[in-house]
Amino acid sequence: MKDIIFAGCSYTWGQSLWYEANFPNDNHPRDGFFYGNKVCEECYEYIVENRFANQVAKYFKKNALVAATNGGDLIQSINFVKNRISENTFNGRKTELVIFQTTQFVRHDSLIDYQIEMLENLVLDLEKQNVPIRFVHWIWPDLTQNEIDLYISGVNTNWGKLAPRFSKNKIPVIKDAMPPNDSNKLASEIIRSRTIKLNGNFNFQYITEIGMATKRNDYNKIKDYTIYGKFGMPKDAVAPDTHFSQEGHNFIAQEIIKHLENEQPRIFSI
């Protein structure tokens, strides 16, 4: 069977998804944190079977390859993809596609520019090997080069001059990642042109960030996409658990499938 590699952080791995099953031997605390040694065997099997990666792979009759361990930064995900590609090549297995879920830049202690360049190089290297890659973003901001150029030129003091779609929730992201701080590569066309939009949204932050989600007109629809929104926050929890519920994984899977079905030319057929 041919493979699809899914790289990403805990959202791709499926953290907390097993809460849906209420296994009697599940002793994992519901305090908003992750304890790898407390994930029961049935819990892990439930994750593997029900996360969006497996849903997408099964639809296209492929095998899903996901990191065995939870979490990670962008550089770890890049290395995971490279290693799995090498292993597949050595073992005579074909990698048909890479789905790469981006995570927070701050998880790695390198500059944002460096991380983006590493991603761009990964794209180019994979495509030389005839392995396409598509991105699903958690919090990567939807920025065009024109918007970044306006910011750098000093228009940042007058947001009204930016494109109308430029919402205020992007402002903190830019201020943390623009010269002289770190990066002017956030509008990388290599990344943008290979991004899967989720119901028209550039990233899924609008689902997982509570303050952003609750202000949306469609909150009643999307609230069940996270563990916190669906089940609430236990009294002993330190932080809300905004990882995907089953509905969230279903949504991400459906959006990826829809994109791949409609993309022309087709990456592969069922």
**46 shares a domain with 21:** yes
Quick one: 72 and 171 in the same domain?
A: no
Structural domain ending residue among the three candidates 162, 185, 208: 185
| Sheet of strand 3-7, all strands in order from the earlier edge strand to the far edge | 63-66, 3-7, 95-102, 133-137
**pTM of the predicted model, to two decimals?**
0.90
Report CA 41 to chain centroid distance, whole Å: 25
By residue range, what is the domain housing residue 48? 3-140+188-262
For the chain, the domain total comes to: 2
User: How far is 116 from 24, CA to CA, in rounded Å?
Assistant: 43
- What is the tens place of the pLDDT at every residue in 26-45? 999 988 889 999 999 999 99
Which CATH number characterizes residue 33's domain? 3.40.50
**Structural element, H or E, at residue 5:** strand 3-7
Q: Is the pLDDT reported for residue 80 higher than 60?
A: yes
Kindly state whether residues 133 and 153 are assigned to the same domain: no
Among 130, 154, 185, which residue terminates a domain? 185
pLDDT, tens only, 228-245: 999 998 887 888 999 999
Token reading at 172: 């903190």
Evaluate if residue 262 carries a pLDDT over 50.
Answer: yes
Share the mean pLDDT of the chain: 87
List the beta strands (DSSP E) in 3-81: 3-7, 63-66
- Rg (the chain; Cα; Å): 19
Say whether both 96 and 181 belong to one domain. no
Both 82 and 152 in one domain: the answer is: no
Describe the crossing of helices 112-128 and 74-91 by its angle, rounded to 10 degrees.
20
CA pair distance 167, 189, nearest whole angstrom: 20
Same domain, yes or no, for 199 and 235?
A: yes
Whether residues 60 and 157 fall in one domain: no
